[in-house]
Amino acid sequence: MAAVEPQTVVIIEAPPFPVPVFEPCLVLPASPPGLIENRQGSLEVIAGKELRARGGRGWEMIRYKMDCIHGCVLEARGFNVTLGAGGRAVRTYDDRRAAVKVLFKGSLAKPHAENPMDEIAAMQLIAARGGHPNILPITAALEDTTALYLITPYCDGGDLFDYVCMNGGLSEDERLESEHPEAVRARELPPLTRARPLFRQLAEALAFLQREDIAVVHRDMSLENVLAISVDPSAAGTMSSWVLQLVVHDGGSLFVMDFGMSVRLPPPPSADARALIAPQSQRGKAKYMSPEVFAEAPFDAKADIWALGVMLYTMLQYSQPYSRPHPSDARFHAIAVLHSDARFHAIAVLHPYARFHAIAVLHELERCVSRPLTRDALHLIQWCMVATPALRPTVAQILGHPWLTRQ
């Protein structure tokens, strides 16, 4: 078996994002100032408030949704103002509602792991490259003297973590249930809610982020940072919107969001070199964090590949694979650290779709799962969660994996 040629590793500081661009806006009516007020200890939208931008574009505030870092999130209704017959202003409303993330300028100077300016810059960079149907698009970035306003589609279907919990985990597909009829009868398998089409959307979004002209490492890929939007705007906010959206499994249903911890990947100095980002403090959720990020070691886009493997494990098992990515965690050690077997390295690199029937590491993963999985699913999860980042698959290899290509 031929040896794998090692790459030259170069550690480089992450290049900055382009400076985000904001369009000036007005909060109307001007008095009282702002969009929200405190009513008897509860934050609520001030009645009649709207944001107005150039060209007749605007957003009417509907309700206060939640707090966020440096501000809050409001639900709004977008509209366009045009001149109708007789020169009268005509207001036409969007079919879908919008989310308005209000970031108060007085709070932005406070240090935090999430950088809202990088988040907006990353979203604008993605939009400038054409956007992707599975990445939350930016509708507008506005500012006035007191706040920044990030406007995106309002995702009424909740997040993917909620969906997994609501269903008690997801199935691979119908074939898995036919392979394990005893488990189905014993209710050890979740309802028939297929994970494969949803996972494919996540992998395709990641492939877009890792394009050379974008080169964004998300660093906080998680089920909680994937939102869904209903197929039918009239179903907004109802539980049926989940059924409409995710049982059908149409493309474009899921949106990767929350780029506040993202960083740009530096280009390698030569074709035979591998560029790593210089060590930074821990970012993201420990239960999805790759071991190199957890250890504050140099990292690259393979950190997002690790998180993708954790997401697939969680979707199919309805549990997290470990508590933290450290050898002291027994489950982490069983899944990731035991990959030091030389046979695993050789087969993973040279024969990436081998089934590992005789490799001990696959049996270690099987001991960590509580629900039966196909060999292809086990292999894909295990490959994404290799402790050595260079041995993890590329996104192209994930999208070409038998578990995703199988009809």
Annotated binding site for ATP: 101, 224-225, 258
CA–CA gap between residue 67 and residue 189 (Å, rounded): 36
Dihedral angle, C-alpha 387, 388, 391, 396, nearest 10 °: 70
Are 244 and 230 spatial neighbours (Cβ–Cβ below 8 Å)?
yes
For 297, the 3-state DSSP assignment is coil
How wide is the angle at C-alpha 276 spanned by C-alphas 274 and 278, nearest 5°? Answer: 155
147-153, strands of its sheet edge to edge: 23-24, 140-143, 147-153, 89-104, 71-83, 57-68, 50-52, 26-28
Residue 298 φ/ψ, nearest 5 degrees? -55, 150
274 membership: H or E segment, kind and range: strand 273-277
Indicate which residue of 156, 220, 300, 304 is catalytic: 220
Binding site, annotated residues: 101, 224-225, 258
Strands 147-153 and 89-104: antiparallel
How wide is the angle at C-alpha 65 spanned by C-alphas 61 and 70, nearest 5°? Answer: 95
For 143, the 3-state DSSP assignment is strand
CA–CA gap between residue 122 and residue 218 (Å, rounded): 9
Residue 111, token pair as written in the block: 């240090």
CA–CA gap between residue 325 and residue 288 (Å, rounded): 8
CA–CA gap between residue 135 and residue 127 (Å, rounded): 10
Strands 8-12 and 273-277: parallel
Residue 306, token pair as written in the block: 């690790």
Beta bridge partners of 99: 75, 152
232 is catalytic: no
**Angle between helices 360-368 and 375-384 in degrees, nearest 10:** 100
CA–CA gap between residue 8 and residue 271 (Å, rounded): 10
Beta bridge partners of 92: 80
Q: Which residues are catalytic?
A: 220
